[in-house]
Amino acid sequence: MRITSKVLATVASSSVVALVLAAEHPAASVSADAALAKLKEGNLRFATSEVSQSKPTAARRAETAQEQHPFAIILGCADSRTAPELIFDQNLGDLFVIRTAGNLVDDHALGSIEYAVAHLGARLVVVLGHQRCGAVKAALESDHAPGHIESLVRDIQPAVKAAKGKPGDPLSATVAENARQVAAQIKAKAALGDLAKEVRIVSAVYDLDTGKIDWAND
């Protein structure tokens, strides 16, 4: 039986698709638990050392220029004092970072998380709030704000309501609750498929004064 060029083309195309799909789900950079341990060790270095151990170098830039294998995904606040690469004492290529005011999650952020899990091998997602967050403070003061800031205070309102009446400082309680709720949203909405069982999603709060991370129990 003669094999037509059309059949050969179809077979070749199927083989290419199979190779692409196989490459879409790389092995984990490190396990979720190991990634969390690396972050905790890095933050301890940052909070207690005078000099970073992970300062970017030309060699590291060259090493990561063609590919990346971040070991953790950080959804953090856009606040200029909370750069995850610094406060976790990590280098170029170590962290896949998504930042919005109030460390909120939307479709773009979810897509970014899904991409980092499926294509880059990251298995830990950290939602990182921080002490005295301006977006959370604005949401505590009012459920309305000018321009697109309105979207921030609107999406933080569920945390404001959930934290109301809790002991301690209202702003601190709401920051922690907002991070926890965003982590829960990622767990509920992120389309991670079979990889979901390997992924750990946690929340934490960064202390601007001490440089330390307070990890929530997940």
Rounded distance between C-alpha atoms, residue 202 and residue 188, angstroms: 13
pLDDT tens-digit series, residues 102-126: 999 999 999 999 999 999 999 999 9
**Is the per-residue pLDDT at 7 higher than 70?**
no
Helix (H) or strand (E) holding 76: strand 72-76
One-letter amino acid at 180 equals: R
Domains delineated in the chain? 27-215 (3.40.1050.10)
Q: How many of the other CB atoms lie within 10 Å of CB of 98?
A: 22
What does the alpha-carbon distance between residue 108 and residue 83 come to, in Å, rounded to a whole number? Answer: 20
Residue 218's pLDDT is 64
How far, in Å, CA of 45 to CA of 204, rounded?
Answer: 17
Residue located via tokens 């460390």: 103
Prediction pTM value: 0.86
**pLDDT exceeding 70 applies to what percent of the chain?**
88
First-to-final CA distance of the chain: 61
Burial of 42 (0-12, 13-18, 19+ CB in 10 A): buried
- Determine contact, residues 134/110, Cβ cutoff 8 Å: no
Point out the least confidently predicted range of 55-59, 143-147, 168-172, 183-187.
55-59
Across 123-211, the runs of DSSP E, i.e. the strands, are: 124-130, 200-206
